[in-house]
Chain A
Amino acid sequence: MTKDTTSLVPVCPLEEITRESGVTALVHGKAVAIFRTHSGDVYALSNYDPFSHASVLARGIVGTRTVAGEPVDFVASPMHKQAFDLHTGRCLDDGTVSVPTYEIVVTDGMVLVGGPKEAR
């Protein structure tokens, strides 16, 4: 039996995620951090903080930081505050580090999360 690691699975109603915050979901056996920004967009990153080796990113503060003149949505790790771009998973404080991002869609008010996206 090959394990399904990519199909979209329903996680929770969008309403359950407070704007500008995150929740942790268990998707295909992995802890995924799901964020909803002020504009209502949703993003999924691995919940694993590569700096502290702890599964905590969903519990960070969500905000924006100006990078090259553009506002970038990010989450600050609750452990030691490194910022990760919600769109790309790239660490804004250390260009050599990034966390995987996941497929995410909202259908009929339900948030569905799939497998990891190709690294960009």
Chain B
Amino acid sequence: MNTRKTLVVVGHGMVGHRFVQAAIERGLTETHDIVVIGEESRPAYDRVALTSWFDKGSEALSLLPEGEYDDPRVRLILGTSVDLMDPATQTVTLSDGAVLAYDELVLATGAAPFVPPVPGVEKDNVFVYRTIEDLEAITAAAQNASSGAVIGGGLLGLEAANALRGLGLQTHVIEMNPRMMSVQVDEAGGKVLGRHLTDLGITLHTSKATAAITGEGTCTGLAFRDEDETLDVDLVVFSAGIRPRDAIARAAGLDLAERGGVLVDEQCRSTSHEHVWAIGECAAPGGTMYGLVAPGYTMAEVVVDALLGGGGAFTGADMSTKLKLMGVDVASFGDAFGATPDCLELVFNDAVAGIYKKLVISEDGKRLLGGILVGDASAYGILRPMVSSGIPLPANPEELILPASSGSMDLTLPAEAQVCSCNNVTKGDIEAAVEGGCESAAEVTAQTKAGATCGSCKTQVKKIVEDYFAAQGKVVDKSLCEHFPLTRAELFDVVLVHGYKSFDDIIAAHGTGRGCDICKPTVASILASQLGGHVLAEGRQTLQDTNDAYLGNLQKNGTYSVVPRIPGGEITPAGLIAIGQVAEEFGLYTKITGGQRIDLFGARVEQLPAIWGKLVEAGFESGHAYGKSLRTVKSCVGSTWCRYGVQDSVGLAIELELRYRGLRSPHKLKGGVSGCARECAEARGKDFGIIATEKGWNLYVGGNGGAVPAHAQLLAGDLTTEELIRYLDRFLMYYIRTADRLQRTSTWLASVDGGLDRVRAVVVDDVLGLGAELERAMAVHIDSYADEWSETLNDPEKLRRFVSFVNAPGVPDPAISFGTTRGQIVPDAGPDEPVLLGASIPVGGARR
């Protein structure tokens, strides 16, 4: 007799998927065959991150990209719904007519947006915001629309509004209450939030009830109750709350909660039917429905546990929320409205900066009960676990919300404090993961899922990992070096804010001691990015690494290389001849580089001015092969010659190379431009890569070759040249401002909270309002650019150092000697000890 049982899961959403995962992980499939019936056409996806579908598409959201579980005892049936359940016969009937018998039935049907019975809701261009199909439909309708309204100003409504704004629509939000997010935010917080939304360009209509959707067949506007006025809009999205999808349960006569949802006990078992369970948004444990994913996940675990004979229980959940609108920070947690008798409130309200923070504290001042953060929710990561774990408040709780201290307070959470509420991960779990070998917050997230869902706990996860390493004595100190207790990005801001111009002033005010080989070049680079001007300008030359100090790359034998700029790799025969003549005259080794230009090797310090004198005369300038700065913008031949080229890639590469030449940055910068999708310029292997399209240019960022190659990712597509340059200006300056020392764009992008999406929001959508400022900074650089080598040649003070010996300027250093390989000079192996120059060689000989 077959002793295996059949378990049917109805609904393959976030919670249904988590249930199956837990069932496989904990061995439930040893005894049960699982059949999952999902109504949507695709496997479960991350609904919490639904809005990022606009940037990333469906695939990135998928929770089961392979399309099936790697346990053969689980069968997934998609695009099919369960229309009937019959607890008496223990069967379900599918939309295709099939009937399945079950031993256990798990309902995970989620919830559906509530659409109030307003006349006209059946019209075209009226949407909800719940599935990928909804977003596809909204996107399609937005093509022919110029304005849209979201009905409902709650958490999801605002997310939808931001999406409409992102689609280029004039966006309105209609809210019945006098403020947005009235469930989470109090009146004062609502005011501040309202101002942020208005600044984003969203028009708010509060205390307004929609009476009808107007238009013939297709929506053209809204009419309001008690008012004559109407609002013309081309499309409408309802976000007026959600209702559990309990229709099949209702028809089968299961106990339901008063406000809907399958009534279940603490084990999530139907109170009326022994073999039926309900989890996620369709369930109402103890009569309450939870509209968040984390409680659903807990319910999924509880049911797996119960089916395995365990005693886990669901006893309520943390309803903390953080709004995922880029640029507007809003968080609300615990007893946000101060409902606890006799509780105290601490409020910080900076109307000018648009920051509102409120803490609700127990009567004795010892415990944090809840709070609201608007405008700056950076403290959310520390505050929320304080509520859930009940650890005592510090002596001066106001410091938790005063601007200066955000995040810097030393709060020690107990190991059992829940850090990630979405995935129920405690501080102890995170520390255990680190102990078990995780070396970074990213690895901890991969292993524990902490931070993988809504992301609001990421800073906290990172901090715990860092604290753990610090306690182990591992260096996670982010100080630049022993002289500066700041990161490069912080130092950049300090220099910018104070307008410092010299290393001495900076170290006197913000550092200690005299500096070293790490902080000096870093400061030199920061000053160069901000002030422009010559790298060897007064006071700065001693800060430079040898490459910048001598405007050449130091070679293994103490000589330097000479790399004239050849923008886009385009060079005239006369230019080639000139370079050849210089190389021949000075006996230099020549090589075509991987960067589409020519490198001349083996020049002694004292020869550099003469060599460059000739090159400058022939029309060349410094190629900055020595600097942490723009190197080359590689190009393919493009539409100039190529039969496939759709744009002038050479022209653009030259334009960009000339625009950004000399730009000092945290690490070197490389660009590439390809004339069509065949990508002959390998643009996606560059920090910024541009690929021509029929309509314009696609801009990719964050690529590199080198030791850890990275492919550049799409920042924005089909741009005009003007847009492209604007975004590039912003992107590069944003990188220069915020990256760490020696961090290339790829690693920087990975380190930015929110990654590429965040950078796109800043660069393309300008959510920080920094765009103009970044463009201005780039304009300063472009205006102040001058060729470093011609300036050096014209300045005796700068030339003074290009000598072999102070007291014998023209005498070649005897330690440098050459052999010959393949017909050209190559360095001899270095001498084993210092070389003695014959005492007879005259001292003070003329300079060559």
Contacts and interface: CB of A to CB of B under 8 A. Distances in A.
Interface of A: 3, 10-12, 16-21, 23-31, 34, 37-38, 46-48, 52-56, 59-66, 71, 73-74, 76, 78-79, 81, 83
A59 B550 contact: yes
Given A26-B807, A28-B839, A48-B834, A54 B557 contact: yes
A55 B549 CA distance: 16
Interface centre among A16, A21, A53, A56 (most CB of B within 10 A): A53
Contact of B807 (A12, A52, A56, A73): A12
B556 A61 contact: no
Interface centre among A11, A18, A21, A61 (most CB of B within 10 A): A61
Interface size class of B (residues with CB under 8 A): 35 or more
Contacts of A78: 545-546, 554
B212 interface: no
Interface centre among B516, B832, B836, B841 (most CB of A within 10 A): B516
A54 B560 CA distance: 12
A64 B830 CA distance: 29
B482 A66 contact: yes
Decide if the interface of chain A is mainly helix, strand, loop or mixed. Answer: strand
Interface string B633-651: 0000000000000000000
A73 B558 CA distance: 23
A62 B519 CA distance: 11
Interface stretch (B47-55, B216-224, B491-499, B810-818): B810-818
B830 A31 contact: no
21 contacts: A11-B807, A23-B801, A24-B813, A26-B837, A27-B807, A28-B839, A29-B836, A29-B841, A48-B831, A48-B835, A53-B830, A54-B830, A56-B554, A59-B546, A59-B550, A63-B515, A63-B519, A63-B520, A64-B513, A71-B514, A78-B546
Given A23-B801, A24-B813, 9 more contacts: A19-B542, A25-B808, A26-B837, A30-B834, A55-B815, A55-B834, A59-B554, A60-B517, A64-B514
A29 B541 CA distance: 28
B183 interface: no
A31 B813 contact: yes
A17 to B, nearest CB: 8
Contact of B830 (A27, A52, A62): A52
A53 B137 CA distance: 69
A78 B835 CA distance: 19
B838 interface: yes
Nearest to B840: A29
Contacts, number: 129
Contact of A52 (B483, B556, B837, B838): B556
B807 A25 contact: yes
Decide if the interface of chain B is mainly helix, strand, loop or mixed. Answer: loop
B775 to A, nearest CB: 34
B804 interface: yes
Contact of B839 (A3, A11, A79): A3
B809 to A, nearest CB: 10
Contacts of B482: 65-66
A42 to B, nearest CB: 13
Contacts of B515: 20, 63-64
B813 to A, nearest CB: 5
Contact of A61 (B545, B557, B830): B545
Interface in B752-774: none
Contacts of A81: 517
Contacts of A37: 514
A27 B516 CA distance: 28
B154 to A, nearest CB: 56
Interface centre among B550, B815, B832, B841 (most CB of A within 10 A): B815
B805 A20 contact: no
Contact of B513 (A3, A60, A71, A76): A71
Contacts of B558: 54-56
A76 B546 CA distance: 10
A17 B557 CA distance: 24
Interface centre among A18, A31, A56 (most CB of B within 10 A): A31
A77 B262 CA distance: 73
B833 interface: yes
